Amino acid sequence: MAYSWFKAFHIIGFVVWFAGLFYLVRLFIYHVEADQEPEPAKTILKNQYQIMEKRLYDIITTPGMFVTVAMAIGILSTNMELLQEPWLHFKLGFVGILIGYHYYCSRLMKQLAAGECKWSGQKLRALNEAPTLLLVVIVMLAIFKNNLPTDITAWLIFGLVIFMAVSIQLYAKIRRRNQEKLTAELNQIPEG
């Protein structure tokens, strides 16, 4: 029974953790793009995003990570044989990368607060795809274990994930180009 409780809260923890990671970097994008706004909107938006980022990271994302890791330890304590499974070693490696990503987001958040972040909105959009890819790999390993599919269906799903990531990047580029064109047109309109 303990295994089921640990597993249930492990799933809840990683859903919360990933939700936080997905939204956190989106806030970073808005924070960086607030620099394009005129004052006082620029300062107001940046202050608001800073508050939202800190609360999201401290109240939702980090606790989600700790619950996920603690429940994983609980799962392993009820079934130590899992530690001998090769798929679990790969999964733990990807979780380690995800934890590194989590703490890198903390670093970016501090840079944004200090006005020292060098990342553009476009680069942050690309960074925002990393947890999606990690989620796919981690879930696939957890479900298929040592029998990770390599058939056409698996490659189609992988292709779909890549297509979604590229589509998001393309949409952002088109949106930015249209915004720049609109701004240029508005600047050419004579006043009065």
Closest CA to 10 of 95, 130, 128: 95
181 labelled binding-site residue? no
91 labelled binding-site residue? yes
Closest CA to 127 of 13, 21, 48, 14: 21
Query: With the C-alpha atoms ordered 137, 141, 144, 147, is the resulting torsion angle positive or negative?
Result: positive
Known binding site for heme: residues? 10, 91
Residues at the binding site are 10, 91
